[in-house]
Amino acid sequence: MVVVVDTVSATPLRPRHPEKVNRPDALSPPKPDWIRVRAPNTRGYADTHKIVKENGLVTVCEEAGCPNIGECWDKKHATFMIMGDTCTRACAFCNVKTGMPGALDAMEPEHVAEATFKLGLAHIVVTSVDRDDLADGGAEHFAKTIRAIRARCPTTTIEILTPDFLRKDGALEIVAAAKPDVFNHNLETVPSRYLSVRPGARYFHSIRLLQRVKEIDPTIFTKSGIMVGLGEERHEVLQVMDDLRSADVDFLTIGQYLQPTRKHHAVMRYVPPDEFQGYEKVAYTKGFLMVSASPLTRSSHHAGDDFAKLQAARAAKSR
């Protein structure tokens, strides 16, 4: 039997996913040759690592075991994960640790701002664990982090990738009032797969959350993403695109699901690159301003370059 242990933090042998330890192993097919990643051994990677650690920060790049870390960190692109390294949800696809998180670090917004400054980022992505234990789901902490980055790095554009704030009335409004440039909330998968993949979430709540952001402030770009290879059908992916367009979402990302351990959801299928291209084409016809669809697409991958394209696409549309 495989024991799911923490392979990221300095405390080995602590169950990382206590709720998954007793699950039977889920076997995925071997990775195809189009899933290739750069090894994390460059000077830029080492510099990014140093700044992250010196500021005591957590990154989703490490916690989620992102395959793009070698490429992104070499360019000093890291995505900070605020409010701790422990999540109150236990999604079947996610490698982030599950459990009861600790108290918020009041200095974290300043530390994130300082690291953004030191990395010299023109565009920063900030995400978080789910904090169902907090009355506002961590909304005020998100807002403080946005304000701290604005104060320290006034020209840096800010993208946030938030939890769903389910049953946290007023939380979304607090975050939107801080005016991030991009508000991302991932749907993760098609509605028929929610019960097995994202059981703590509600599909239509997530769609409505994205729609509300646009209603509150139409200048904020909205973004969402799904993973494929989790057992979804093509027509379901196309329906998700329509649902997101109904909510006026600007930017769609589609990437291949990769299994973090054998205790996580199995990869049902590796979607070939030409199918991703097909999804991208269809998504543009449905009216998204930006679409990124490829096996290694992740929400924050190339986020800075994509933000510039988003702005250009909006400007072209309004001409």
The smaller minimum CB distance to ligand SF4, of residues 172 and 254, is found at: 254
**How many whole angstroms separate alpha carbon 269 and alpha carbon 229?**
5
Q: Which is nearer to ligand SF4, 78 or 228 (CB)?
A: 78
Shortest Cβ distance from residue 129 to ligand SF4 (Å)? 14
Piece of the chain touching ligand SF4 by CB under 6 A; list 4-12, 186-194, 237-245, 295-303 = 295-303
**What is each CA distance from 316 to 8, 112, 130, 301, 319, in whole angstroms?**
44, 33, 36, 24, 5
Q: Which is nearer to ligand SF4, 123 or 214 (CB)?
A: 123
Which of 119, 301, 306, 310 binds ligand SF4 (CB under 6 A)? It is: 301
Distances (CA, A) of 76 to 108, 124, 290: 19, 10, 23
Cβ atoms of 151 and 113 closer than 8 Å: yes
- Residue 2 CB, nearest approach to ligand SF4 (Å): 24
Please identify, using beta-carbon distances, which residue of 171 and 271 lies nearer to ligand SF4. Answer: 271
Site for ligand SF4 in 66-125 (CB under 6 A): 66, 68-69, 72, 77-79
Beta bridge partners of 254: 226, 293
d(CA 237, CA 283): 10
Query: What span, in angstroms and rounded, lies between the C-alpha atoms of 239 and 232?
Result: 11
- 182 is a contact residue toward ligand SF4 (CB under 6 A): no
52 lies in the site for ligand SF4, by CB under 6 A? no
Give least dist CB 81 to ligand SF4, A. 9
Does the footprint of ligand SF4 cover residue 253 (CB under 6 A)?
A: no
Give every CB contact of residue 154 below 8 A, 6+ residues apart in sequence.
none
Nearer to ligand SF4, 68 or 145 (CB): 68
Q: Which is nearer to ligand SF4, 72 or 227 (CB)?
A: 72
- Decide: 75 and 44 in contact? Cβ < 8 Å: yes
Binding-site member from 115, 298, 306, 310 for ligand SF4 (CB under 6 A): 298
CA 303 to chain centre: 11
Interface region with ligand SF4, contact rule CB under 6 A, candidates 150-158, 180-188, 280-288, 298-306: 298-306
Q: Which stretch binds ligand SF4 (CB under 6 A): 32-40, 174-182, 203-211, 293-301?
A: 293-301
**Region near ligand SF4 per CB under 6 A, out of 65-73, 99-107, 175-183, 206-214:** 65-73
Is 144 a binder of ligand SF4 (CB under 6 A)? no
Count of residues of this chain found to bind ligand SF4 when the rule CB under 6 A is applied: 12
**Distance between CA 168 and CA 215 in Å, rounded?**
18
- Least spacing, CB of residue 192 vs ligand SF4, in Å: 26
Exposure letters 262-271 (e unless 16+ CB within 10 A, then b): bbbbbbbbbb
How far apart, in whole angstroms, are the C-alpha atoms of residue 8 and residue 13? 11
Q: Which is nearer to ligand SF4, 96 or 209 (CB)?
A: 96
Environment class of 245 (CB within 10 Å of its CB; exposed 0-12, middle 13-18, buried 19+): middle
Query: Would you tell me which residues interact with ligand SF4 (CB under 6 A)?
Result: 60-61, 66, 68-69, 72, 77-79, 298, 300-301
